[in-house]
Amino acid sequence: MKVPLALAAILCSAAVFAQSAPKQPTVGDKPQVQVKLRKPAPAKPLSIAARLEACLDIDDGTKARLDCYDTVVKPEPKEKAPAAARVVDCRFAKEQDARLACFNGFVETMPKLAN
């Protein structure tokens, strides 16, 4: 009775040791190293002029181009819009066609930006 009990104790203890925490994988005698990827550098924000110029790729006279301009310069319609001296003054035009024509007038005449 003692021999089977001793044999069972030895087998159970061997099973416990086999289930212990796994060892770190090694290459030769040195542990493997996990390399973490770096996060890419954040993209440099584009200037207002570059973002407005990108809107020129959209078909002229379309709502999509006006929406593109409006994302760059938020519209703030006024009853009596002042004369547009700067491109940001186009946001005051109440009518969509007038606002689109104002933006087109400024963006198409500005010098092309170097990429």
Condensed to tens digits (0 to 9), the pLDDT of residues 73-89 reads: 998 888 776 777 888 88
Q: Is the dihedral of CA 21, 26, 28, 29 positive or negative?
A: negative
What predicted TM-score, i.e. pTM, was given to this entire model?
Answer: 0.53
Q: Is the pLDDT of residue 12 over 90?
A: no
Q: How confident is the model at residue 63 (pLDDT cuts 50, 70, 90)?
A: very high
Q: How confident is the model at residue 19 (pLDDT cuts 50, 70, 90)?
A: low
DSSP 27: E
Please give the angle made by the CA atoms of 40, 43 and 44, to the nearest 5 degrees.
140
Close Cβ partners of 49 (under 8 Å, ≥ 6 residues apart): 110, 113
Which pLDDT does position 22 carry in this prediction? 62
Taken as a whole, the chain contains a residue count of 115
Which pLDDT does position 21 carry in this prediction? 59
CA distances from 34 to 25, 30, 38 (A): 11, 13, 13
Give the residue extent of every domain in the chain: 48-109
Share of the chain above pLDDT 70, in %: 80
Mean pLDDT of the chain: 80
Which pLDDT does position 37 carry in this prediction? 78
DSSP 32: P
CA distances from 104 to 56, 78, 92 (A): 8, 20, 15
